[in-house]
A and B are shown apart, each in its own frame.
Chain A
Amino acid sequence: MPLIDACATEDIDLEDVMRFDHGGHSYAIYRSPDDEFFCTDGLCTHEKVHLAGGLVMDHLIECPKHNGQFDYRTGEAMRAPVCVNLRTYKVTVADGRVLIDLG
């Protein structure tokens, strides 16, 4: 599957998250405090709330609905009420663009 050009690197602040919709599916793209980019499914595995409304702290994303947390690098569920891991996608940065591999 080709890489999808999701956004420019400067579209996301350091230690923040952005929603990206593509092909009827929602994704969340993260920029970590050490300026790396990551991508996961956009909806929380607990009750399908958009994670992009949540808070990025270090390498965690906290869901805005019930404060469940995931490690957005691996998708691992870190704090209840989330128990199911998030799916993650490979990200490449080239020429100031964030490219995600949805394959």
Chain B
Amino acid sequence: MTTPVLQVDALRRSFGPATVVDGVSLRVDPGETVGLLGPNGAGKTTTISMIAGLLRPDDGSVRIQGVDMAKDPLAAKRHLGLVPQDLAIYPELSARSNLFFFGRLQGMRGTALRRRVAEVLDVVGLTDRATGASKTFSGGMKRRLNIAIGLLHEPRLLILDEPTVGVDPQSRNAILESVEALSGEGMAVLYTTHYMEEAERLCDRIGIMDAGRVIAEGTRDELVEITGGADTVTLVGEGPLDEVEVAVAGIPAVREVRRVAGERRLVMMVQGAPQAISAIVATATGAGMTLRDVETSRPDLESVFLHLTGKALRD
């Protein structure tokens, strides 16, 4: 059995009375991409801060390449590349200067550093914008530079904390492609996001995180199994939604109904949506709902999250 690149055991951390991370365990093997999927405030960044040695856990342990972060932080950090959620770049400096600066702090120098800077600029597609001050970059370019810095020293473990936030679809695709390429080269990747599509596309395994806990963990297909293969149906519209909720819950194919807080939207888990949809629509309109939109989807991580927590992943 190979040593995992990252082994996290029962991490726990409170801020004052609030327990923000509550017993998180994770394992990432070489070449594997593991996702942490969870809504805002789930504790993803706090977990990553403890893994990267930025925050002391109240309890639990972190090992990178078998090195305990608490016992020998410098040795553990040598194998780690962190891409923080915030744009961790110096705005006054160019892309190249940012890379040279962080490269030197990683202990790189000379031709090896120069060669590697050129390589990562190429990977993230910033070669022709290497010299201008990075404050003039678009959001997507800044994100790409943020990632390039994390890759520079060819770490065994790359941690990306929501690397595509605020990025246009094109840059986003470029970012996802480079992450796929890296894991293809054998890098272990820990990837947090609250975009279900990204987790589904990139990750070999996914941990679903909510309120400080990993509430389910497995491959995409394993996770979807949890819902028993139910489809998701979403009704959008106005009317006496409380009464509509009760009415549609009476349909045998409908397994669960939730109101999305603050929105005129009912989300339900349905066994065999294509067959049941006409009955659902008829019941809802019969109960007084004016429909604006009806969406059905095959079981996905969104439905898993809804099933497990009763909340939508993004609201």
- Indicate, yes or no, whether A interacts with B: no
